[in-house]
């Protein structure tokens, strides 16, 4: 009997096994790589610096997590109890190094990915990287970080400022600013903590420029961490959480209106949904009440003679300006052509979800949730690994055994 099996054509062959590429060797990237590996999927982390946790190594010296040790661990490895409840920057770096080592993650350093696009056959993703590399993956997890590129406002006259101007990303310690007049611009968690650090290290004068009055919460009250409340209320209606937090603030946080920080008009959770996380107090309340940190109006521009014009019409002449004005995600060059970003440059889909135009392209770490960034990245890592396992078993490289 003649063989009726149709001939096999090259075009009908399944695509070759390909790894999942994870871009970024910070907490989001490492946890995603571990979760994939735990499911038997080969994951390759591409890190542009020479070691993991690069962004954490650049944070200021006194930084401690505002989230608890237990709720900040990544999947597969608890943080050691000796790190204490509020883990220091250096211990976070040690933990990330241990995490990569213990889980034997496949990490390639010194490789920066500049552009991601679909493979010509539409079965995977093509990554253009340092040195002309072209890498093909079955899926990609982008974990380049929420705090990627410092944002320094283009204030009028900025270039002519005769004093010292730096972004908060360059700040390490208040020691070099002892005896100097310093203006900190921006009252997020970073700006608030830098202002306190400057005071404690002997700056002669510290002013904090505020455009939008923040919500301030105690990091912990009677042993109850603010993060616990953030986890509990995350799924509740915004209006209800706003009302609850308003009552809590009146009990736990003194009225600082006389010092330039009135209670905000908009609710705490409404602000969170708009992207503004409350400031966790690590000394700002006392410093403001004692007059050691002076609250001033927002910066409008720089003028001749080293003067700075504020929104209320006043002029000041600090020696140093530290811009705690945030970061941008800087994803446009990498994926902007794939229709996966919104008008603000943020991924339209996050965690295990993908944009309809880009199946197999995942993003993690690009939100700033009230429940804690590390906690949410750890949860997302497991969900992403499950999604990858479901969507591409035929083309994803599997680990031996």
Secondary structure of 293-345 as H, E, C letters = CEEEECEEEEEHHHEEEECCCCEECCCEEEECCCEECCCHHHHHHHCCECCCC
Q: Does domain 151-327 have CATH number 3.40.50.300?
A: no
Q: Note whether 208 and 294 are within 8 A (CB).
A: yes
Residues 106, 83: Cα–Cα separation, whole Å: 26
- What are the per-10-residue average pLDDT scores of the chain (401 residues)? 39 65 98 97 97 94 96 98 97 98 97 96 94 96 91 93 95 98 96 98 98 95 93 94 94 95 95 92 97 98 93 97 94 96 94 96 93 95 96 67 57
pTM of the predicted model, to two decimals?
Answer: 0.91
CA distance 105 to 99: 8
What pLDDT, on a 0 to 100 scale, did the predictor assign at position 113? 97
- H/E segment holding residue 386: helix 373-391
pLDDT for residue 5: 39
Give the tokens for residue 347. 């991924």
Q: Specify the pLDDT at position 398.
A: 72
Angle subtended by helix axes 27-38 and 89-102, to nearest 10: 20
Q: What contacts 211, CB < 8 A, 6 or more positions away?
A: 297, 298, 311
> What is the rounded distance in angstroms from the CA atom of residue 102 to the CA atom of residue 112?
24
37 forms beta bridges with none
Architecture of domain 15-148+329-391: 3-Layer(bba) Sandwich (3.50)
pLDDT at residue 179 in the model:
98
Distance separating alpha carbons of residues 140 and 169, to the nearest angstrom: 28
Does the fold of domain 151-327 match that of domain 15-148+329-391?
Answer: yes
Helix or strand run (H / E) with residue 117: strand 113-118
Task: Kindly list the domain boundaries of the chain, sorted by start residue.
Answer: 15-148+329-391, 151-327
């Amino acid at each position: 009997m003649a063989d009726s099996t149709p001939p096999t054509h090259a075009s009908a062959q399944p695509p070759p096994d390909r790894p999942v590429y994870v871009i970024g060797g910070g907490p989001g990237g490492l946890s995603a790589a571990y979760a994939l590996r735990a499911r038997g999927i080969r994951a390759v982390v591409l890190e542009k610096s020479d070691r993991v946790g690069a962004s954490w190594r650049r944070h200021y010296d006194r930084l401690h997590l505002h989230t608890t040790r237990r709720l900040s661990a990544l999947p597969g490895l608890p943080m050691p109890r000796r790190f204490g409840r509020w883990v220091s920057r250096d211990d976070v770096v040690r933990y990330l190094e241990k995490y990569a080592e213990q889980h034997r993650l496949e990490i390639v350093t010194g490789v920066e990915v500049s552009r991601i696009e679909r493979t010509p056959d539409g079965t995977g993703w093509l990554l253009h990287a340092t040195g002309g590399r072209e890498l093909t993956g079955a899926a990609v997890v982008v974990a380049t970080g929420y705090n990627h590129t410092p944002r320094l406002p283009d204030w009028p006259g900025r270039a002519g400022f005769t004093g010292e101007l730096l972004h908060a990303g360059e700040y390490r310690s208040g020691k070099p600013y002892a005896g100097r007049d310093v203006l900190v611009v921006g009252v997020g968690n970073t700006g608030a903590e830098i202002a306190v650090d400057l005071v404690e290290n002997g700056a002669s004068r510290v002013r904090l420029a505020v455009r939008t009055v923040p919500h301030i919460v105690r990091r912990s009250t009677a042993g109850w961490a603010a993060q616990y409340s953030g986890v509990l209320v995350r799924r509740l209606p915004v209006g209800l959480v706003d009302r609850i937090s308003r009552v809590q603030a009146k009990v736990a946080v003194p009225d600082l209106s006389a010092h330039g920080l009135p209670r905000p008009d908009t609710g705490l959770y409404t602000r969170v949904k708009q992207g503004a996380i409350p400031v966790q107090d690590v000394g700002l309340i006392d410093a403001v009440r004692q007059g050691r940190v002076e609250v001033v109006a927002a910066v409008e521009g720089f003028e001749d003679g080293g003067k700075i014009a504020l929104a209320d019409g006043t002029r000041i002449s600090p020696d140093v300006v530290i811009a705690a004005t945030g970061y941008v995600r800087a994803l446009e060059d990498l994926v902007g052509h794939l229709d996966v970003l919104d008008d603000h440059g943020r991924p339209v889909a996050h965690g295990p979800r993908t944009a309809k135009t880009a199946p197999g392209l995942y993003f993690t770490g690009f939100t700033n949730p009230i429940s804690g960034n590390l906690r949410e990245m750890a949860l997302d890592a497991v969900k992403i690994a499950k999604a990858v396992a479901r969507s591409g078993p035929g083309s994803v490289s599997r680990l031996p055994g």
